[in-house]
Structure 1
């Protein structure tokens, strides 16, 4: 780091940033963008998990820009590194900057301590805004990452609780039996069967018998 850059990096009012990406050209591009900002300074770079741990310990950044896919090729290496960094350095805020966008990946990164998640084709203004937000202990997600996280949370909804009678009705529904046939098998009236079927569909959030069978099979109720 040149002498004037080293002096600037010691200013207490600056957001100190470490770049963790296995592509040198990406790190160079990020450095050139971020060093134009008066309140941001890049204080270290790393291309592997081990380098990142050493760099963060040495350079004391406040924000780490982390790519999830590093040189080892293991898909979870970046996630594991995120967890290690936030566990070892409580003052460090991790902002994931990656090409990978997956519902579960965004949520997993947050569970492992990431304060934000943005995709690499985000525009410069939004990236800088995300870094500043994370530096202030706020969360930062681009629109696609936020949508992916909400979708993942929705998929993790609690399995609805069906009564013993509703499960029996559901099992017979899955076999294609009519309401009358189900009533005959369970010794209840057709009207009572219809009542149970409506409750089953309401609890599963569906609008037809076929959807009820499909959704319940996904949830492991059948």
Structure 2
């Protein structure tokens, strides 16, 4: 049984048995509700448009077996449905693939052998507009760090907001830590993303990490 404020989830994976397994696990959580399933990019765009989920669990390896199809779908979803949070759930862990997913709009990345508790935590984080990475994908991001010659400058307050973003805190939690309103936090986050030329909070954290800012 789900609550009125349940997180609506769409499952995109070309293996029916995987979708069935995920549904059985997620349906046990009272605040999570699987509202759609799809096995291809075309099906995903159609069903997500009809069911308006808040989180899409996306396998990058769809029917063609190519990473690019899942990445392209991720980009299309985030562009057409910006309110939808894409959480990559895949078998493959590759540094370049993790970063490509972030650059294509994914808010998080976890591998399929992650335990149920961690997966549910990641889904809830993405639903709140936060980023979510398991320990291995987070390490992949760190390994991908490269220092860029030109770096933007941040105010002292922006620096503190950026550090709290890196710890996965929500706007409300950041406001509580810094004793500022949630609206003010949103203002600082927008400025940070603009300075880093980032399309998402996760990408902003990644770019800042590359520069050694955090």
Shift of 1:12: 3.9
Matches within 5 A, 1:145-164: 145-152=137-144, 154=145, 156-158=146-148
The CA distance in 2 between the partners of 1:12 and 1:64, in whole Å, is 19
Matches within 5 A, 1:1-222: 12-152=4-144, 154=145, 156-158=146-148
SS for the counterpart of 2:147 is coil
Shift of 1:159: 7.0
CA-to-aligned-CA distance 1:177-217 (integer Å, 9 cap, x gap): xxxxxxxxxxxxxxxxxxxxxxxxxxxxxxxxxxxxxxxxx
Aligned positions, number? 150
The CA distance in 2 between the partners of 1:149 and 1:158, in whole Å, is 15
Larger radius of gyration: 1
The CA distance in 1 between the partners of 2:88 and 2:65, in whole Å, is 17
Shift of 1:132: 0.4
The CA distance in 2 between the partners of 1:76 and 1:112, in whole Å, is 10
The CA distance in 1 between the partners of 2:17 and 2:75, in whole Å, is 26
Unaligned runs of 5+ in 1: 161-222
CA-to-aligned-CA distance 1:99-134 (integer Å, 9 cap, x gap): 011111111111111000000000000000000000
What is the TM-score normalised by the length of structure 2? 0.67
The CA distance in 1 between the partners of 2:102 and 2:12, in whole Å, is 17
The CA distance in 2 between the partners of 1:38 and 1:158, in whole Å, is 45
Shift of 1:36: 0.4
Instruction: State the Cα RMSD in Å.
Output: 1.5
CA-to-aligned-CA distance 1:62-101 (integer Å, 9 cap, x gap): 0000000000122211000000000000110000000011
> Greater relative contact order (Cα 8 A, min sep 6): structure 1 or 2?
2
Unaligned runs of 5+ in 2: 151-214
SS for the counterpart of 1:118 is strand
Q: Which runs of 4+ in 1 moved over 3 A?
A: none
